[in-house]
């Protein structure tokens, strides 16, 4: 059994992991832990499963786990269409939240296309989803594109609203939003962060006339606070990148903790810097906690008490570390031995929810003998 990289943990000690068998079949497993010990293991859903709605899973995608134990998973169906399912339980029971041709919330003439992107299950059971939408029937107001959608009762109704979408203006900029990349949401307080791509000027003579910029954008949504609504069903969007960090390239996923703190890795002139709320914590070129010059970072995960967990790379390997900007500590590194086996590769930060609110973390390691393990680190 191999682990392709999907690994999530919540405050209930539940760990959801993707596992791949020798036949390339993907399974989504639920590991129940207590104080760092494995209590039970169940298969939730697998490639080839037929769901209660009659659809068959062709290939599982990423999953999302909230602190209530709810699980959502993306999948490509046998009919080729993408879909997101919620209420995923052992025995492949799940309810479809969205797929191609699902209605776009708040619109009676638009549907979702097969252009699905990132998604996140929030702690109240609602769902954030990036999807393309197509519009028909209103010649003078055509506006197909990509939208960040909040489905308030996914799998139950189509209720929800569009938070931002292609063509929205970007405050403080003459640009408009083109595409939406990775998202995150604190889940408790209505704040979200996402990558956005400023729309490039139109092509003329076959070539782009300007440069599209990737932006890190943030916003708030709260159905009880209509004052936040900028217009229609859109909410005000604030480019947090400009507020929090210097300009640079942001291709690595932005991360948000439950207190709304944003961590990100920004590359500028070929140098990675890890930021928390605009404060530079570590920069490539500095020494790692193990004394090696840092070459770069993977995506961070924001934990409790201003702690940022991450993986850094050095000439000699990589380290799983935690930092608050003043102090840094390495938990694991390649080359060390665990239970008689030497770690060849480790992976942390591939997905968002790899640290719970108490600082319990999960990561993947591969040993020099080729075996792989899911590790859990428990604070004490």
Partner 1 sequence: MAINNPKTIPPTLVATDDPLSLCTGALALIKDVPVLPLGLSYNGTFFQYERKVAGFDRSVSGKYSLFFGLCGPSWATTANVKGTYGNGSGGGTEINLQLSDTLTEAGLVFGAAAGLDFSVSMTTWVHDFNFDVNVTADAVQLLFTLAQVLLGDKALVSRVSEKLPSVESSWGAFDSTSDNWAANDGQLSVNPAFSIPFNLWSLMLIADETSAIFGGLVVASNAVLDATLSSITIGPTFGLGVDLSVKMEQVLLNNVPYPITGFDGASSLTAQGPGAPPASISSIGFGFSQTPYFDFQLGLTAQLQLLQLLNFSASYTIDIAAGLPQLSFGTFSQTLEVPAGQLTLAYDVEFA
Q: Which is nearer to partner 1, 214 or 286 (CB)?
A: 214
Q: Is 142 or 338 the residue whose CB approaches partner 1 more closely?
A: 142
**Inter-residue long-range contacts of 99-108, CB under 8 Å, 24+ positions, other chains counted:** 102/158, 103/158, 104/133, 104/135, 104/147, 104/149, 104/162, 105/149, 105/150, 105/151, 105/158, 105/159, 105/160, 105/161, 105/162, 105/233, 106/160, 106/161, 106/162, 106/232, 106/233, 107/133, 107/135, 107/162
Q: Does 214 bind partner 1 (CB under 8 A)?
A: yes
Nearer to partner 1, 86 or 252 (CB): 252
At residue 79, φ and ψ (nearest 5 deg) are -80, 5
Contact flag: residue 24 with partner 1 (CB under 8 A) = yes
Is residue 351 near partner 1 by the rule CB under 8 A? yes
Of the candidates 182, 168, 166, the one whose C-alpha atom is nearest the C-alpha of residue 119 is 182
Candidate list 366, 375, 376, 377; residue touching partner 1; CB under 8 A: 366
Minimum CB separation of residue 25 from partner 1 in Å reads: 11
Query: Does residue 18 belong to the site contacting partner 1 (CB under 8 A)?
Result: yes
- Each residue 230-269 as x (binds partner 1 by CB under 8 A) or -, in order, gives ---------------------xxx-------------x--
Contacting partner 1 (CB under 8 A), which of 133, 192, 309, 321? 133
Smallest distance from partner 1 to CB 81, Å: 8
Per CB under 8 A, the list member of 105, 154, 296, 377 interacting with partner 1 is 296
User: Three-state SS for 338?
Assistant: strand
Number of residues located near partner 1, criterion CB under 8 A: 79
- Nearest residue (CB) to partner 1, 204 versus 327: 204
How many angstroms separate the Cα of 118 from the Cα of each of 62, 218, 329, 344, 375?
9, 15, 31, 30, 25
* Footprint (CB under 8 A) of partner 1, residues 101-130: 101, 111, 113-118
* Contact positions with partner 1 (CB under 8 A) in 303-332: 313-315, 317-318
263, 276 contact by CB (below 8 A): yes
Tell me if 54 contacts partner 1 by CB under 8 A: no
Shortest Å distance, C-beta 101 to partner 1: 5
CA distance 45 to 128: 21
Rounded Cα distance, 282 and 293, in Å: 11
- 142 versus 379: smaller Cβ distance to partner 1: 142
Among 21, 42, 50, 138, binds partner 1 (CB under 8 A): 138
Binding to partner 1 (CB under 8 A) within 67-106 occurs at 76, 80-82, 100-101
Sheet containing 57-65: order of strands: 57-65, 71-77, 82-89, 93-99
With binding defined as CB under 8 A, does residue 146 bind partner 1?
A: yes
For residue 313, give Cα distances in angstroms to 4, 41, 212, 310: 20, 32, 29, 10
Degrees, nearest 5: CA angle 358-360-365: 165
We find the least distance from the C-beta atom of residue 35 to partner 1, in angstroms, to be 27
Q: Which span (87-95, 229-237, 275-283, 347-355) binds partner 1, by CB under 8 A?
A: 347-355
């Amino acid at each position: 059994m191999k682990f392709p990289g999907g690994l999530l943990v919540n405050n209930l000690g539940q760990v959801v992991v993707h596992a791949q068998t020798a036949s390339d079949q993907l399974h989504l497993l639920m590991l129940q832990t207590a104080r760092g010990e494995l209590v039970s293991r169940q298969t939730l859903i697998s490639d080839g499963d037929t769901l209660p709605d009659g659809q068959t899973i062709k290939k599982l995608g990423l999953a999302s786990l909230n602190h209530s134990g709810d699980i959502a998973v993306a999948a490509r169906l046998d009919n080729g269409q993408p879909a997101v399912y919620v209420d995923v339980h052992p025995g492949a029971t799940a309810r479809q939240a969205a797929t191609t041709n699902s209605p776009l919330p708040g619109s009676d003439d638009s549907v979702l296309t097969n252009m699905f992107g990132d998604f996140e299950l929030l702690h109240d059971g609602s769902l954030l989803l990036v999807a393309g939408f197509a519009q028909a029937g209103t010649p003078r107001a055509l506006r197909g594109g990509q939208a960040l959608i909040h489905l308030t009762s996914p799998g139950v109704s189509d209720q929800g609203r569009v938070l931002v979408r292609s063509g929205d203006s970007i405050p403080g900029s003459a640009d408009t939003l083109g595409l939406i990349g990775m998202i995150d949401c604190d889940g408790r307080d209505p704040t979200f962060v996402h990558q956005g791509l400023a729309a490039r000027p139109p092509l003329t003579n076959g070539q782009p006339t300007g440069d599209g910029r990737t932006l890190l954008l943030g916003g708030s949504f709260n159905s009880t606070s209509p004052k936040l609504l900028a217009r229609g069903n859109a909410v005000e969007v604030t480019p947090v990148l400009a507020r929090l960090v210097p300009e640079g390239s942001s291709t690595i996923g932005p991360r948000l903790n439950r207190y709304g703190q944003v961590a990100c890795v920004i590359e500028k002139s070929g140098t990675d810097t890890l930021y928390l709320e605009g404060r530079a914590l570590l920069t490539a070129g500095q020494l790692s906690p193990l004394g090696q010059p840092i070459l770069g970072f993977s995506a961070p995960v924001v934990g409790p008490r201003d702690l940022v967990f991450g993986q850094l790379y050095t000439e000699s390997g990589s380290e799983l570390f935690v930092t608050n900007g003043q102090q840094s500590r390495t938990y694991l590194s390649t080359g060390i031995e665990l239970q008689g086996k030497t770690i060849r590769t480790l992976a942390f930060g591939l997905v968002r929810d790899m640290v719970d609110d108490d600082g319990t973390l999960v990561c993947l390691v591969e040993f020099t003998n080729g075996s792989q393990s899911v590790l859990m680190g428990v604070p004490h």
